[in-house]
A and B are shown apart, each in its own frame.
Chain A
Amino acid sequence: MSSDRDSILSRVRSALAPLPERAALPDWERELVIMRNARGAVDAVALFSERLVLVNGTPLTSAADLVALLEKNGWRRGYCDPALWPGLQAAFPATFTVETLFDRSRVDDYQFGITAAAGGIAETGTVILTDGGTSRRLAALAPWVHVAVLSRRTIFVDVPEAVAALGSDPNIIWCTGPSKTADVEGILIEGVHGPGIQVALLVD
């Protein structure tokens, strides 16, 4: 293996040796990638909700609204991050079965998964999950409904701002709307492997 390393690096070096000069790394202004209609937008929370709807996600502002959505569709079994459950429990009637342990051997038993988001991106309607902040990767992915509990104070305006704040978490995932495919004849189908419903529950 190490011989492969050396031979690759030596081939690369000799391929580049004849170049009289090397292309410089350009700098670029953040302005360049800010979408026209997001320029100067100050209300990141409003923009976030608007954009989340555009990618077929569901912004909600209260636990009661969440319960109503789940009720309406008959989604009464799910998982909730143990750290979030005390704050939400009161809104859930006894007809719900909510577990705070996620058992991967019963992955299809969970119709919804409630986990914490580490942040959001307004211009794209994205929720940000991290290993440090999200209790279970699977609970945010396998159930039909994913509810990301998102603090209004952690919403970045745009992609460059969110990139700048990536930090050192070993695994960060940006989720922009429900899982989707257009592989079959270009027809949009949501809920391929991940959630078919992506909710952001906005809290203070």
Chain B
Amino acid sequence: MSLAAAARPALAADPALRPVISFHGVGKTYPNGTEALHDINLSIFQQDFVFLVGASGAGKSSLVRLLIREEVSTSGRIFVDGQELSRMARRRLPRLRRKFGIVFQDYKLLPRSTVAQNVAFALQVTKPGQRHLREKVEESLWIVGLEDKVHKFPDELSGGEQQRVAIARALVHRPPIFVADEPTGNLDPDTSWGIVQLLLQINHRGTTVVMATHNREVVDLVRRRVVAIEGGRIVRDEAQGQYLREGDATLVSGGNR
């Protein structure tokens, strides 16, 4: 049992609340022989906010790729929402992906589409003919604070704004789990801080958030669960300081920027 679960005994004891995400003895060795992950055990509960930290090359991205099943583990078992990933049929992959909102260090925006078109694209290709598309896109852009940049193109935006567009796109189909791999990797500290606050807000709305980062500063500023990875192993899994009261998502050191 992870420390995070132990930190919330009332919730962990409730059998109805099994982890949204769990890794059981998971290993990943790439075809070239690199062992990126070794015996990973991890449970993440609904509405958790988890930082995956570790130096570059530690295995954070590998873990994220296993989680969203961009890669398949070479040993152990991974469950998402009760479903085992390594045995999942390929045709179920789209349904799994729709449970995630995913952002990366590079924003992966369509350069020839406007901000609104970029966000709408996610719905158009998963739920064609979706009603109230425009309202959903606008709402998503409002959450990330870009409601006035709707008709801009990505190259007219700053890096932080582009990452916000990517976040809005990841949110637009209201996923229960939000996964970010180095979302602040290309951003200056101030902008990074804004992105992290945004993720905390998203978490406060009820979404489970997993954020991989090698940026210790950001992690230190927020009292959330930290899973530290080194050389493909989890070396630490603990709440930073202590958990805030349930539902209280304000930052402990929010003013300290």
* A, B assembled together: no
